[in-house]
Each structure stands twice: as structure tokens, then as C-alpha cells.
Amino acid sequence: MSRFFDGTRGGSPRNAHAPHARGRHRMSALVGAAAASVVLTLGLAMPAAAAPPGGPSPLPQLSAAQPGTLKACESLVDFAFPSTKITQVSRVAAGTVSNGGQPIGEHCLVRGTMNERVSTFDGQTYAIGFEMRLPSAWAGRFLYQGNGGLDGSVAPALGATRGGESGLQMGFAVISSDAGHNGSQNPLFGREPQARLDYGYQAVGTLTPMAKALITDAYGRGPDRSYITGGSNGGRHTMVAAARYADQYDGFLAISPGFNLPQAAVAQLWGAQQWARVATTPADLSTAFTPTERTLVAQAILARCDGLDGLADGMVQNSATCQQAFSIKRDVPRCTGERNGTCLTKEQQAVIGEIFAGAHTSNNKEIYSSFPFDPGLTQSGWAGWKFGSPITRDAPAVGFIFTTPPADPSILADLQGYALGFDVDTEAAKIYATSGIYTESSMSFMTPPDPTHLDTLRDRGAKMIVIHGASDGVFSPDDTAAWFDELDRNNRGNAEQFARYFEVPGMGHVAGGPATDQHHGLAALVDWVEQGSAPDQLIASVNPANPEVPATWSPTRTRPLCVYPQVAQYVSGDPESASSFACERPRPGLAYGAR
């Protein structure tokens, strides 16, 4: 997390732990990682061994959910709950919708709104829109599906995660929402005080008891176990829920979480300004670092780091050591003439190095975390986040949602001018500010309060899995690793009892890139929560529909995702199979292929 400002959050200093910026010092986190264990099919691990004498006290074990049958569907149109209006109820036949090419079974679809109101600020009508899908064959579980971006639309409540069955296919009753505003209100809803708070955290808190009551009416009893998941902003919703609503949920699956979203958005504006320094076409920031040049850098990273795990396979598993081994200035040729894709200019090397080191003010105070160098930067999604999103997404988000007081709507006429003219030395502090009717800063309503002291989650036996791509172009896995490091320190090295972090080499934001990005994270979480089987590995596979998977890879390639700070090391056998790897603590400088 950033150490830029001294604002407080949940009683803990906002700079309580520094990120891995200026070198990504992950090696300090290698404390007591367990040896790799044999992994069962579908990426579910063997049950964790009992705590040794003198070790941490065992945490409560939650009981398994019990199945049930849908008792009511059409009659749910009469469902009564405070400030709730049901607008549609219908039965959906099996096979009407699908996930991963597989049909989803019969279920009941319920749509509605909560807390509809006319704003005294802008005269617009706001409401928390939602959709619930209730399977006829119920597993006794509830899943909150956190959606991404600025929200504003109700995505189908399928409970989809990457690679495995969706929550609805697994028998979960699933809810999805727009977080309190509709698409036509993006991004100016950020100027409406209550809409800000709903987007940040209150929509989840409002919807949760209503959803459980609706489940009770539909099945004759409430859910035995409740889960929440999401990627990107949905991952942020999940992280926020782990801190604010740990008494309401038993399992938390956060993918590529932007849990310090206001900081990351400011960093994006700062990054746009750096790219503009070396862009050959000022209106097109992507000309600062072209696809050919990104491929050049990716190849240089692979030349230094691909073999650190004992196998040259186009993937950097030992990312921590790679950050020590790779240098953008030393390992990428410097141009002596014109840019032609075979070199970088001195100015490009400086800008790229600065951006990966992390956003900072003119006097070098940190704004947001560093990013790791990873060959996944070749992907189009990485470029989209770095070059396009600062103008189209981050500028309006910073201006209207994260800045207090918010900017005037006139900035919409020239978002690029706003982004490139944003003075981080003076304006960045406004993400910590309150003013008049804006009683919470964006760093208060958007981020999880006290995220490294998840005592409620821990003490009631709930569990948390966080997954992040090493080539995420907007939310840094370094920030996520720093979060886990601090969580672990606050739990005397025992955070793995209830929370585990997995990094995915090559993966971009949420998915994609030259990566094995498909996993069964939700199934692993359920197994951990309800059976006590802690996931020492997740088995990840290639998405055959991903165009950025190299043609030289087998379409059936699998790799173990290891519990941080362990990394996958090649042992022997089929180089395309996860079974040929073991999760081990990274040891700098050791050639793992020579055993």
C-alpha cells in the first residue's frame, strides 16, 4: 500500500506498510512457507496437517452446506422486504443460458430494486438494481457476484469465475447488482453523495440481508454458507466485504482486486503524463511503447528470467528473483539512431523504469505501488490499461468519484487535457479529503478498512483466496503481495490459516495474456471453508479461446499456482503438465534444473 499520505483508515496508519516499490522486495516475505504437497484433481489440495505443538491455535471449522429444493418461484413477485421492489420473476428452463459451453440448469430469475429515491442533489432517480438466480437444485449456498468497472449495470447473476463451473452451475443462489446507479448516470453519479457510498460499500451491505431473506422465501430456509467473489472492482468489493461484512460471509474469492482503487486511478493519470513524454504522436499514448518494443522487452525479460524455475517455457514463475535479475537499462538495447523496434531510446528506458517503479510526486513521495516486470506486457489488454484507460476511465473516475470535492462536469469536454494536466503534487491529496456534503473520503468509502487485521473473518472460521496476474496493467500484484505480507505479520506468520494469495505468471488484468489463467478458485474456496482442505496449490490451465497464448504451447498446458511466496519450480517430466512442477520457496541464483 502507498505511504504517500498520512491519512488513517480504520484506526490504522494509512502508511502502515510500504509497497514493494523501487525493487519489489519480496524476498523479505519468504517466511516459513510449507513444502509442496500432492494436489488432487481440479486443483483441490490435500487437507492441511494439524498445527504442531506450540503452533497457532486451530481456527473454527464451519460445517458443510446442505442441499435443498426450490419451493417457490413465481410467487416471489410478492416478496416483501423493506425498501425493496420486485420488478420481474420468471422460471428459466435448463439450457437457456450456459457457461463455458455447458448448459446451466433450471432456475428462478428475480429482478428488482432497493432504496429507490430522488436525489436532492441532482434531482435524478437512484436505486440499487439487482438480479438473483435461484437454482431448482440448490446446494444450500449463497454467492454475491461483485461486478467490475464503475458498475452501473446488472450483469447476469451466473457467478462465473475463471475456468471452473459458475456459481449457478454449482448450485449457488447468486445475486448481481449495479451498486446503486445505472449506466446513464456514469460517471457523474460520483457527484451524488449517497451514490458514492453505495458504489463504495453500502450497496453490498444493503443487498446482503435482503438476498438471504429472498432465499429463505424461495427454499424455506436461509443459506448454510455465504460467499462473495469478483474480479477487478468486483475483487475490490470482495476485499471490502472481508473487512466490513465478515460476519455475513464465510468465503471470499478476490481476483485482481483494485482494493486501493483511488490510488491506482491517480497513478494512471501520472502514468499517462510519463508516457506522453516519449509518445511520437501526442494524441496516441500507445506510440510511447509500441507492440514491437513491448515484445523486445518481453524477450529480454525471458532471456534473464525464464530459466530461473529450471525450465525455458516462456513463463517467469520466479518473479521475485526476476525483479533482482532484470534491468530495463542493461538488458534492452539502447537506440543509437532512430527507433525501429530493435531498441529503446534513453528516454524510453527512463520512463518505463519509472512507471514500473511506481507513481510518485515530484519530490519522490509514493502514490501507488510498483509493478513487476513480466513478459505478459505484450498483451493488448496491458496496453489498453496503460495507454487508453487513463483518459477514458481513470480521468472521469478521479474527477467525479475519487476527488473531494468532485470536479466540474465541464472536464468531460477534454478528458485527455484533464489527465495530462492533473497536478499530482496538489490534487492527489483530494482522494483523502472530505468536504461539506461529502462526509467520507474516497479512500474511506472505496477501500477495505483496516485490511491487514481481518480478525472477524479469521476468528469465525471464514476463509479468503486472492488471485492476481503478474502482468496486470492497472492494479499491481506488488500491492496485493504487500497487503498479504502485512496481514501475515499481524498474524505472527500464520495468515495462511485463513487467507492465501496466488500470483499467475503472465496473466493480465483478471484474465488473458500468455498465461495459464483458468482455475477452479471457487471450488477450492468451498472445499477449504466447508471441509478444512486448505489449497496448497491451484491447478491452472490454458484458455483455448485466448489468442495471446503462444502457438508453441500445448493447448492443454497446466501449471500449479503456488501459495505466495512459494513459486512453481520444474522437477522433471512433461514440461506441459503441472505434475512436473513443485511449489517451493524461491532461492535466488539457484538453477533448479540441476538437482
Residues identified as active-site? 232, 472, 509
Residues with Cβ within 8 Å of 79's Cβ and at least 6 positions away in sequence, in order, are: 86, 110, 213, 214, 217
Distance from C-alpha of 38 to C-alpha of 560, rounded to nearest angstrom? 11
Three-state DSSP state, 177: strand
Question: How many angstroms from the chain centroid is the CA of residue 311?
Answer: 28
**From the CB of residue 310, how many other CB atoms can be counted at a distance below 10 Å?**
21
CB 181 within 8 A of CB 126: yes
Distance from C-alpha of 44 to C-alpha of 36, rounded to nearest angstrom? 13
Distance from C-alpha of 542 to C-alpha of 560, rounded to nearest angstrom? 12
Residues with Cβ within 8 Å of 202's Cβ and at least 6 positions away in sequence, in order, are: 180, 194
Residue where the block lists cell 455465504: 226
Distance from C-alpha of 240 to C-alpha of 232, rounded to nearest angstrom? 12
**From the CB of residue 199, how many other CB atoms can be counted at a distance below 10 Å?**
27
CB 569 within 8 A of CB 585: no
- Beta bridge partners, 176, equal 131, 145
CB 226 within 8 A of CB 141: yes
Residue where the block lists cell 505501488: 369
Output the nine-digit C-alpha cell for 257.
482486486
Provide the residue count of the chain. Answer: 595
Helix extents (H) in 163-248: 193-197, 203-219, 233-244
Q: What is the DSSP letter of 406?
A: P
Output the nine-digit C-alpha cell for 359.
507513481
